[in-house]
Amino acid sequence: SSELTQDPAVSVALGQTVEITCQGDTLRPYYASWYQQKPGQAPVLVMYGKNNRPSGIPDRFSGSRSGNTASLTITGAQAEDEAEYYCNSRDSSGVRWVFGGGTKLTVL
């Protein structure tokens, strides 16, 4: 099995830029995907692959990878971006998946 490590909480001032990171050995061979979850709602995919946004996700969201660390960047954070963010990737077996512990983003 493998682990993905996220900071538990991050804050950003309204309109500023914030980076949410995810660390794990399996992020070298596999890209991370990122999910936004607001209270009482199911998660929503916001980023996948090298730097791909699903239809309907604002272009202020972007993704990147360096070594064993994946990042989700929000450029010009909005109040509606306040949520829990989870990264996800395959584990070392390649046929199971693992989520990071989640990062609670607060927009000040």
50 makes contact with another protein (CB under 8 A): no
Nearer to another protein, 43 or 76 (CB): 43
Q: For another protein, what does the binding mask look like between residues 4 and 43, x meaning CB under 8 A?
A: ---------------------------x-x-x-x----xx
Only one of the segments 16-24, 62-70, 74-82, 92-100 lies at the binding site for another protein (rule: CB under 8 A); that segment is: 92-100
Provide, rounded to whole angstroms, the least separation between the CB of residue 63 and another protein: 11
Residue 79 identity: A
100 makes contact with another protein (CB under 8 A): yes
DSSP 14: T
Q: How far is CA 13 from the centre of its chain?
A: 18
- Cβ-Cβ contacts under 8 Å for 44 (sequence gap 6 or more): 35, 36, 37
- Residue whose C-alpha is closest to residue 26's, from 89, 100, 99: 89
Of the CA atoms within 13 Å of residue 80, those in its CB half-sphere come to 4
Which positions lie near another protein, rule CB under 8 A?
A: 1, 31, 33, 35, 37, 42-45, 48-49, 52, 54-55, 84, 86, 88, 93, 95-102
